[in-house]
């Protein structure tokens, strides 16, 4: 069994003055990991460990969570997320990026606009052929604003299309009651762990980024850097379709579907499955 590699904190100051942090492990060419909604840098601990023998791994905490706290701003756009990545890459000299879910959407936009990214990999960016429900996004924002986090958790899962089948079948009041129970149990985590109730307000950044990219997949045809597109066979059908559509759009794309993995495939195995398998694909791609 591999001896765990210790991580240290690395910080940069983005162009609007926001302090952006990441966990750093390993030694070698730099690779930046950009997580999706409801995740932090620690969500990538096992993936980071698996990559640390080949790379200097920077697991980024995007603004609004973990090492990068910042209150949500309604005027936020994906351009800010791209700026954060740009400043981090400049500071570390890294040129490789991997993004999951909404982090994958941000990674695609960063790769499209930042020449310093020479290779990038994404895992299931949530593109919706008919667009994400803007009504759902508005409802989510309103629920978080009034502090109704159980309702917001339900709305986030339903709007994103990642809700488990039983939750989709429940009436809203029953689903909210179940979500409140989940949040109450999760709140018992150790103080050092990020709780769902702490992460939920920040998902407005994620839904904002995804909604802002609706109908824009064709713009990624201008990406010249080699891209690795990853997905899992157990993920929702719309995510599997999105990654295939993207493979047809990008000029230099390699598509790999990993048997038995779902949307959380590269998260720690306690919350997903398969960080070692994802790491193997990333090693091959980024050392190719």
> 259-272: per-residue pLDDT in tens?
999 999 999 875 55
**Phi, psi dihedrals of residue 7, rounded to the nearest 5°:** -110, 145
12 and 110 together in one domain? yes
116 and 46 together in one domain? yes
Q: How far apart are CA 135 and CA 140, in angstroms?
A: 9
19 and 110 together in one domain? yes
Domain that holds residue 188: 134-200
Label residue 185 exposed, middle or buried (CB < 10 Å: 0-12, 13-18, 19+). Answer: exposed
3-state secondary structure of 65: strand
Which of 181, 200, 219 lies at the terminal end of a domain, its last residue? 200
Question: What's the domain count of the chain?
Answer: 2
pTM for the structure as a whole: 0.94
Does 111 reside within a domain?
Answer: yes
76 and 143 together in one domain? no
Report the candidate in 152, 194, 10 with the shortest Cα–Cα distance to residue 93. Answer: 10
CATH number at residue 232: 3.40.50.1820
Average pLDDT, the chain: 93
Question: Residue 14 has what pLDDT?
Answer: 96
* Per-residue exposure over 225-255, b if at least 16 CB sit within 10 Å of its own CB, e if not: bbbbbbbbeebbebbbebbeebeebbeebbe
Does 37 reside within a domain?
Answer: yes
Mean pLDDT score, 168-179: 96
Does 275 reside within a domain?
Answer: yes
Question: Residue 270 has what pLDDT?
Answer: 56
Which of 158, 174, 200 lies at the terminal end of a domain, its last residue? 200
40 and 143 together in one domain? no
159 and 110 together in one domain? no
18 and 144 together in one domain? no
Read off the pLDDT band of 1 (50, 70, 90). Answer: very low
Does 182 reside within a domain?
Answer: yes
Does 3 reside within a domain?
Answer: no
Does 2 reside within a domain?
Answer: no
20 and 98 together in one domain? yes
Residue 223 has pLDDT above 90, yes or no: yes
Read off the pLDDT band of 37 (50, 70, 90). Answer: very high
Question: Bridge-partner residues for 228, per DSSP?
Answer: 121, 254
107 and 245 together in one domain? yes
86 and 51 together in one domain? yes
- % the chain with pLDDT above 90: 83
> 53-95: per-residue pLDDT in tens?
999 999 999 998 889 988 888 888 899 999 999 999 999 999 9
Does 20 reside within a domain?
Answer: yes
> 240 or 214: whose pLDDT is higher?
240
Which of 174, 200, 226 lies at the terminal end of a domain, its last residue? 200
Question: Residue 176 has what pLDDT?
Answer: 97
145 and 262 together in one domain? no
Mean pLDDT score, 213-242: 95
Does 77 reside within a domain?
Answer: yes
98 and 152 together in one domain? no
């Amino acid at each position: 069994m591999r001896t765990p590699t210790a991580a240290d904190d690395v910080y940069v100051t983005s162009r609007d003055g926001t302090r952006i942090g990441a966990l750093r492990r390993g030694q070698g060419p730099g690779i930046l990991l950009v997580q999706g909604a409801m995740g932090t840098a620690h969500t990538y601990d096992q993936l980071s460990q698996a990559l640390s023998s080949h790379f200097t791994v920077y697991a980024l905490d995007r603004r609004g969570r973990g090492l990068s706290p910042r209150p949500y701003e309604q005027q936020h756009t994906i351009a800010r997320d791209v700026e954060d990545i740009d400043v981090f890459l400049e500071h570390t000299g890294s040129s490789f990026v991997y993004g999951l879910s909404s982090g994958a959407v941000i990674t695609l936009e960063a790769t499209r606009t930042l020449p310093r990214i020479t290779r990038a990999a994404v895992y299931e960016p949530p593109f919706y052929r008919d667009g994400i429900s803007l009504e759902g996004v508005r409802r989510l924002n309103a629920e978080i604003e009034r502090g109704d986090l159980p309702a917001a958790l339900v709305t986030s899962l339903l709007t994103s299309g990642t809700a488990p089948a039983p939750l989709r079948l429940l009436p809203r009041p029953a689903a909210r009651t179940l979500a409140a129970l989940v949040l109450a149990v999760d709140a018992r985590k150790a103080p050092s762990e990020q709780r769902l109730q702490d992460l939920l307000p920040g998902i407005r950044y994620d839904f904002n980024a995804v909604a802002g990219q609706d109908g824009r997949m064709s713009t990624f045809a201008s990406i010249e850097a080699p891209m690795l597109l990853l997905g899992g066979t157990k993920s929702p059908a719309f995510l599997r379709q999105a990654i295939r559509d993207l493979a047809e759009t990008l000029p230099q794309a390699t598509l790999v579907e990993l048997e038995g993995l779902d949307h959380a495939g590269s998260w720690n195995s306690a919350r997903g499955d398969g960080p070692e398998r994802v790491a193997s694909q990333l090693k091959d791609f980024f050392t190719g």
